[in-house]
Amino acid sequence: MPTVQNIINTARTYMDEPDQTFLTDTIMTSLMGIAYSHFRQKVMECDPNILAKRMDIPVAGNSVDLSTIPVTATTGPILAGGGAAVVAAGDRMVKLLSVYTTDTTTGLPSTMFVGAGNLEAVANGDPLYYLEGVTLWLSRQVTGNLRLLYVPDAENITWTTATTVPPDDLDPVHDLIALYAFRQYQMMDSAVSQALMLQIEYRERALESYLMTRSVGGPDYVQNVGV
């Protein structure tokens, strides 16, 4: 299982930098943080649902200010809107995926709201939603809970060799994090090698393939429905 420690050691092996005064632990931590952000962005491009979490929010009307909705009793709101509110790592929304009400018996979606491109569209269609800043607009009145499926930002990860846990559950493709860190390192010298870029491209294709088949029934379901 690739732990944070393993990933950092792999990145250092790629970098092969004996001068610890140049590649300090502080710089390494920064490079790994940037690399992990790139990794999560790539995962989100392929299949954002893998990183998604659900949250039920109370609604009374056809709009709700998400900056007033705390994720939990001890954290800040799901969106801060650039204000002073503190939003805990791993809670703040970075991408909204789905908005729907649920059946009180089965818990399954009952009314699915489809994302609209602008607020004017919400006024002319049903059921639609539009996220304007921190305000979520709905094309119909809702009284009760509304469920959001969204991608949060990354949890706080301590990128040091003392961390012996994996950063997430995507073990088979964690070498990409080390490769992204190596790319950041080469960029410090303004010289990114072609060999590195080819390896990143190869492993990104492997990431896409892995994410597509991570849920075995997913591709078969799509194929069968399309028949």
At 217 the pLDDT is: 55
Phi and psi at residue 2, to the nearest 5°? -70, 115
Domain boundary among 137, 152, 167: 152
Claim to verify: residue 84 and residue 109 sit in the same structural domain:
yes
Domain boundary among 131, 152, 173: 152
- For residues 184 and 156, the model is more confident at 184
Q: How far apart, in whole angstroms, are the C-alpha atoms of residue 38 and residue 32?
A: 10
Claim to verify: residue 55 and residue 32 sit in the same structural domain:
no
Instruction: Reply yes or no on whether the pLDDT at 225 is more than 90.
Output: no
Claim to verify: residue 90 and residue 118 sit in the same structural domain:
yes
Split at pLDDT 50, 70, 90, the class of 73 is: low
- DSSP calls for 91-148: TSEEEEEEEEEE-TTT-SEEEEEEE-SSHHHHTTSSSEEEEETTEEEEEEEEEEEEEE
Split at pLDDT 50, 70, 90, the class of 156 is: confident
What percent of the chain has pLDDT above 70? 89
At 45 the pLDDT is: 92
- For residues 16 and 177, the model is more confident at 177
- For residues 181 and 215, the model is more confident at 181
Claim to verify: residue 207 and residue 164 sit in the same structural domain:
yes
* Domain housing 144: 50-152
Q: How far apart, in whole angstroms, are the C-alpha atoms of residue 9 and residue 16?
A: 10
Split at pLDDT 50, 70, 90, the class of 84 is: low
CA distances from 200 to 3, 120, 170, 174, 181 (A): 20, 42, 16, 12, 11
Rounded (10°) angle between helices 25-46 and 194-213:
50
- For residues 193 and 215, the model is more confident at 193
Instruction: Reply yes or no on whether the pLDDT at 222 is more than 50.
Output: no
The number of C-alpha atoms within 13 Å of 204 and in the hemisphere containing its C-beta is 17
Burial 212-227 (b: 16+ CB within 10 A, else e): eeeeeeeeeeeeeeee
Q: Which of 122-126, 136-140, 180-184 has the lowest mean pLDDT?
A: 122-126
Overall number of domains in the chain: 2
Claim to verify: residue 100 and residue 142 sit in the same structural domain:
yes
The answer to whether residue 226 sits within a structural domain is no
| Gyration radius of the chain's alpha carbons | 21
